[in-house]
A and B are shown apart, each in its own frame.
Chain A
Amino acid sequence: MTISDLKQSPSDSVKSKINWSRIEEADDFANTVKLFRQGKYDEDSFRRYRLQHGAYGTRMTSDYAMVRIKLPAGEIYPDQIEKISQLSEQYSIGSGHFSTRENIQLHWVILEDVSEIFRGLAEVGLTSREACGNSVRNVMCSPLSGVCPDEEFDATPYALATAKFFLRNPMAQNLPRKFKFNFTCCEKHGMVRMVDVGLIPQIREIDGTAQKGFKIFLGGGLGNKSFVGHQLEEFTPEEDLLYTSIAVMRIFDRMGDRKNLARNRMRYLVNDMGWDKFQNLVLKERAVVRATQSVITKLKVDHTPDIIKRPIRISDEDGGETTPDGYARWLKTNTVKQTQEDYRSVFLTLEAGDITASQLRGLADIIRNFSSEGKGRSGFSQNIALRYVHEDDLTRLYSKLLEIGLAKSGALTMTAPIGCSGTTSCNLALTNSHRLAKEIQRKFLELKLDEDDDLSDSSIKISGCPNSCGQHGIATLGFFGGGGRVGKYMYANYQMSIGGRSDGDTMLGQTLLRVPAKRVIPVILKIIEIFKANKKPDDTLKSWINRVVNGNEDSEIKSIVDIKKILEPLIIPPTMDEDPDFYLDYGSDSSYHTKTGKGECAA
């Protein structure tokens, strides 16, 4: 008997306890679009309205939108995945896209159809409300929260409660700029120093009793100019979590720069004011908030534990079953052991976050049949994890993933690069960063670089312009797009940085040199070669690059300048006659030129 014969019927698959949607927003959106098309709603107000509801503009056209669906704390349930699959075929391009902030995006949606997507999302309790615009963006939580061996407690319920508190909350409808919360499990797995508010769960012994709370980091963030967040205080007890969040937002709301759109994220306020002053203000404001909020203003943290139930299987089919090819490699590069004995979390390798409608359908079934918690968790790197997979079910899970083309290895290694949407849909893009990420992945998997332990803790992240949606600043090897020129010909050219990281020692990468798009792969391979020639036995690429950028390396490579010297011959542009392909960006067969439209990041 096979699993599919025994699969739980959709009715007993786990459903979200929280309904994030409001069906009336669909009608309202449809009507507003009509008024806008009739000229009864001015362009600027409409744009704000649209963004507040989670719909971005699209490259070079006002006919299409991108709908960003929020997955608070990254949680996604099988019925939601199936609905998104259907919506992608009906209103988008037949694929969905996992983003770096636990959203799923549908691109190239006709503006008039956006309300139909809202309607479909409401059937499964999802929303895109406040996924864009000057509001509290999707509240993230580490995909390993609750299963991470290094965490003190599971922050997921707190992330969900925070999301619930601020969604549609009047105090968060018109902030000076977008505002982001990231909860994590431990130092290693989060990105708490690269966000407006980052939180690590902590347990403190106070007067003999264990007290839950958080380490809170404020004022970090990536962008055209990036900053690392500051820790507010030693320990923030859980009762103060909401008061602290409100206090920070009130200060930002009052004092944030509403005029200069390019410098209005909270990190600029913190930077201009100085951390000590900002910290003081927050602590004072928190005292005021604590004294003035009604007793009913609380985070409604739901502590009911999830039911962990291994999906039923009657007979044991293990006898005689052969382990499919590639299993060991996949097991090593895509799964992690959980705190809970006998269970693993499994990360799926996607290509720059893209997944087809039929893969989504298959994935929903796979979650029902293999995850003992019955849901998926999206991650930080354009991917999704299934957790609570029993060790004994892993080979069978792998076979099922093979069937739907989702069994590629390397999810947790450097061979799964991040690429923002770039010229595939973004108005500000200068290069096709999305395709470049896919090209690197294909090449590196072919070279089996995912199996190389020296490379697994490194990362490659690519943005299509300096705006950092691809998070290049915190990558071991980071790239952002621009244009280069030889005489009258232009080519896609990336600014490369190395040594960025987002863990306990968060730092931004240092500028290395500009690399033409068609030379990015050879340049990375060359860096790996230099590293291999100079590494110490215990080094990983990440630790070695760290020594180099910090000036602590004692091999013949003393600094970033030495690496640059070796790479320079690789980046010399050939003439058009020698290599016309050099002048085409990935995914394009016409000559490269930069072309951008109006960006909406600050809207």
Chain B
Amino acid sequence: MCCLTGTVKITTDVDSLRSEIRDKSVRVIDVRRESDYKQDHISTAVNLPLANLLSDDSPERVLKLVNSMGIDDETSVVVYDDTFGALASRVAWTLEYLGHSDVTLLESTYSHWKSLGLENDSDTPEIQSKEHSMKLKSDILATSDYLETAKTRDDVILIDNRERLNFLEQHIPGAISLPYRTLASDDKILRSKEDMKRLLDNRGIAGDSEIITYCGSVGTLSGLAYYALKSAGLSNAKLYVRSFKEWKNLQKPTQKQEDASYWDLSAE
């Protein structure tokens, strides 16, 4: 069973991925560290460590990486990680931004896959390079400049996916807090569509407002949120991919919860 929302497929379930692997109709990307990948990974998966991608995620470089992974415009791609889907989301989003439409997230993590005793090995597959086109999908990207002007519109919702204490301490003015932990269910990287819709609806995140997500530094937690929104049928979403780290470096205004020592409630 797939998690279908309208025609947008966000995640791929375990059984479907297994049959796609058997049919050789999928390119699986493992975004964990190289050393983890080398130990074992989902059979046939290629390795693209997130850090490698982030070292230069210009479209030109991403195009090269995508080609070298044997992905063309028609290839069906499934991405997974072992970090509750956040790293995989960032990679999936990057492919989507490049113009690749058929990319989904594995519905659970690699640990979960392994705990089910499913196919894994340590082989590195032989890949034949392919030619992907570049049609940048700029409407899913938010830059700081874009955000500055968008914030003044009242049909724009800005979501902060960092943990609550970080949000209380400092956030982009006008943002609402939706910690990334709220996005998952017990064993899936995303809650069910109904659960997600109810949660978002309670918060007034609904309708066709434009929604921009951000997190602490590189758009991983907020990448997951981007897909969570889409899974709930909220497709007008953008990722502020450089996130709060850039915002602070640019010395743009921030807001904080005043007159309370909430940090002292934390047991950390």
Q: Interface of A with B (CB < 8 Å)?
A: 30, 33-34, 37, 58-61, 86, 89-95, 97, 107-108, 110, 112-113, 115-116, 350-351, 354-356, 359, 421-425, 432, 434-435, 438, 585-588, 595
Whether A90 lies near B264 (C-beta < 8 A) is no
CB pair B261–A90 under 8 Å, yes or no, is no
Q: Which among B179, B182, B260 has the highest number of chain A CB atoms within 10 Å?
A: B260
The reply to whether B165 and A93 form a contact with Cβ atoms under 8 Å apart is yes
Question: Are A95 and B268 touching (Cβ within 8 A)?
Answer: yes
Whole-angstrom CA separation of A33 from B203 in the bound complex: 10
Judged by a CB distance under 8 angstroms, whether B265 is at the interface is: yes
**A354 in contact with B266 (CB, 8 Å):** yes
A108 near B262: Cβ-Cβ < 8 Å = yes
> B201-230 CB contact bits vs A (8 Å, 1 = yes)?
011100000000000000000000000000
Is A432 touching B266 in the complex (CB atoms < 8 A)?
A: no
Indicate if the CB atoms of B164 and A61 lie closer than 8 Å: no
- Nearest 3 interchain pairs by C-beta: A354-B267, A435-B264, A587-B261
| A and B contact pairs by CB, cutoff 8 A, 21 listed | A60-B260, A89-B179, A93-B168, A94-B163, A94-B266, A95-B265, A107-B262, A108-B164, A112-B202, A116-B182, A116-B202, A356-B266, A421-B265, A422-B261, A423-B261, A424-B265, A425-B260, A432-B261, A434-B265, A435-B261, A438-B264
* A59 nearest CB neighbor, chain B only: B260
The residues of B that contact A112 with a CB separation of less than 8 Å are 202-204
Taking CB atoms, residues of chain A closer than 8 Å to B129 are none
Assembled-state Cα–Cα distance A356/B265 (Å): 10
Q: Shortest distance in angstroms between B226's beta carbon and chain A's nearest beta carbon?
A: 18
Q: Which residues of B contact A33 (CB under 8 A)?
A: 202
Complexed CA–CA distance, A90 and B84 (Å)? 14
Q: Is the CB of B261 within 8 A of A93?
A: no
Tell whether A95 pairs with B266 under 8 Å between CB atoms, given A59-B260, A60-B259, A61-B257. yes
Q: Which residues of chain B are near A595, meaning CB under 8 Å?
A: 259
* A33 to B259 alpha-carbon distance, docked (Å): 25
Task: Assess whether B257 is in contact with A90, with CB atoms less than 8 Å apart.
Answer: no
User: In the assembled complex, which residues on chain B have CB atoms less than 8 Å from the CB atom of A61?
Assistant: 257
One of B182, B264, B268 near A424 (C-beta < 8 A): B264
Query: In the assembly, what is the distance between CA of A586 and CA of B263, in Å?
Result: 11
Q: How far is the CB of A103 from chain B (nearest CB, A)?
A: 15
Main secondary structure of the interface of A (DSSP, over half): mixed
Name A37's closest neighbour in chain B (CB-CB): B204
Contacts of B177 in A (CB 8 A): 110
Q: Which B residues are closer than 8 A to A by beta carbons?
A: 163-165, 168, 177, 179, 181-182, 186, 198-199, 202-204, 257-268
Bound-state Cα–Cα, A547 to B262, Å = 40
Partner of B262, one of A37, A90, A91, A425: A425
Nearest chain B CB to A591 CB, angstrom units: 12
CA distance A595 to B259 in the complex (A): 8
Min C-beta distance of A293 to chain B, whole Å: 42
Q: Cβ of A110: which chain B residues have Cβ within 8 Å of it?
A: 177, 203
* List of B residues within 8 angstroms of A90 by Cβ: 179, 181-182
Question: Shortest distance in angstroms between A176's beta carbon and chain B's nearest beta carbon?
Answer: 31
Contacting pair B182 A91 (CB below 8 A): yes
* Residues of B with C-beta under 8 A to A586: 264
Residues of chain B with a CB closer than 8 A to A115's CB: 202
Asked if B263 and A587 make an inter-chain contact with CB atoms under 8 angstroms apart, the answer reads yes
With a cutoff of 8 Å between Cβ atoms, the chain A residues found around residue B164 in the complex are 92-94, 108
> Which residue in chain B gives the minimum CB-CB distance to A360?
B267
Say whether, besides A91-B182, A95-B268, A359-B267, A108 and B259 are in contact (CB < 8 Å): no
Would you call A113 and B264 a contact (CB within 8 A)?
no
- Give every chain A residue within 8 A of B181 (Cβ-Cβ): 86, 89-90
A587 close to B202 (CB less than 8 A): no
Q: How far is the CB of A391 from chain B (nearest CB, A)?
A: 29
Q: How distant is the Cα of A27 from the Cα of B260 in the complex, in angstroms?
A: 31
- A-side contacts of B179, CB under 8 Å: 89-91
Starting from the known contacts A93-B165, A93-B168, A354-B267, 20 additional A-B residue pairs (CB-CB under 8 Å) come to A33-B202, A59-B260, A60-B258, A93-B262, A94-B164, A107-B265, A113-B203, A116-B182, A350-B267, A351-B267, A354-B265, A421-B265, A423-B261, A424-B263, A425-B260, A432-B264, A434-B265, A435-B261, A587-B263, A595-B259
Which residues of A lie under 8 Å from residue B204 when comparing CB positions?
37, 112
Q: State the Cβ distance, A84 to closest chain B Cβ, in Å.
A: 13
Q: Which chain A positions have C-beta within 8 A of B198? A: 30, 116
Residue of A nearest to B164 (CB): A93
A381 vs chain B, min Cβ distance (A): 16
**Residues in A neighbouring B260, C-beta threshold 8 A:** 58-60, 423-425
A33 to B202 Cα, complex, angstroms: 9
Closest-by-CB residue of B relative to A438 is: B264
Contacts of A92 in B (CB 8 A): 164
Give the docked Cα–Cα distance between A515 and B218 (Å). 48
Bound-state CA distance A354–B179 (Å) is 20
Q: Which has the most chain B C-beta neighbours within 10 Å: A91, A115, A438?
A: A91
Give the residues in chain A near B165, CB-CB below 8 Å.
Answer: 93-94, 108
> Nearest residue in B to A82 (C-beta to C-beta)?
B186
Chain B residues with CB below 8 A from A107, complex form? 262, 265
Residues of B within 8 A of A351 (CB): 267
Q: How far is the CA of A432 from the CA of B164 in the complex (A)?
A: 20
Return chain A residues, CB-CB under 8 Å to B262.
Answer: 93, 107-108, 424-425
Cα(A32)–Cα(B35), bound, Å: 52
Q: Give the docked Cα–Cα distance between A486 and B203 (Å).
A: 46
CA distance in complex: A112, B200 (Å): 10
Q: A587 contacts which chain B residues (CB < 8 A)?
A: 261, 263-264
Are B268 and A356 interface neighbours, CB within 8 A? yes
Residue of A nearest to B260 (CB): A59
A28, chain B: closest CB distance, angstroms: 13
Which residues of chain B have C-beta atoms less than 8 A from A94's C-beta? 163-165, 266, 268
Q: Complex Cα distance A38/B150, Å?
A: 25
Which residue of chain A has its CB nearest to the CB of B182?
A90
Q: Contact: B267 with A59, CB < 8 Å?
A: no
Residues on the B chain within 8 Å of A355, using CB? 267
Docked Cα-Cα span, A349 to B94, in Å, equals 47
Contacts of B186 in A (CB 8 A): 86
* B211 nearest CB across to chain A (Å): 16
The one of A30, A60, A95, A421 that contacts B267, using a Cβ cutoff of 8 Å: A95
Distance (whole angstroms) from the CB of A81 to the closest CB of chain B: 14
Chain B proximity of A353: nearest CB distance (Å): 9
Contacts of A97 in B (CB 8 A): 265
Cα distance, A480 to B259, chains bound together (Å): 19
Q: Pick from A116, A359, A586 the residue with the most CB of B within 10 Å.
A: A116
Measured CB to CB, the nearest residue on chain B to A123 is B186
A94–B165 alpha-carbon span in the complex (Å): 8
> A89-B179, A90-B179, A110-B203 known; A588 and B267 CB under 8 Å?
no
Residue picked from B198, B202, B204, most chain A C-beta under 10 Å:
B202
Instruction: Find chain B residues with CB under 8 A from A350 CB.
Output: 267
Look across to chain A and name the residue whose beta carbon is closest to the beta carbon of B186: A86
Q: How long is the Cα–Cα vector from A268 to B101 in the complex, in angstroms?
A: 71
CB distance from A171 to the nearest CB of B (A): 32
Instruction: Name the CB-closest residue of B to A92.
Output: B164
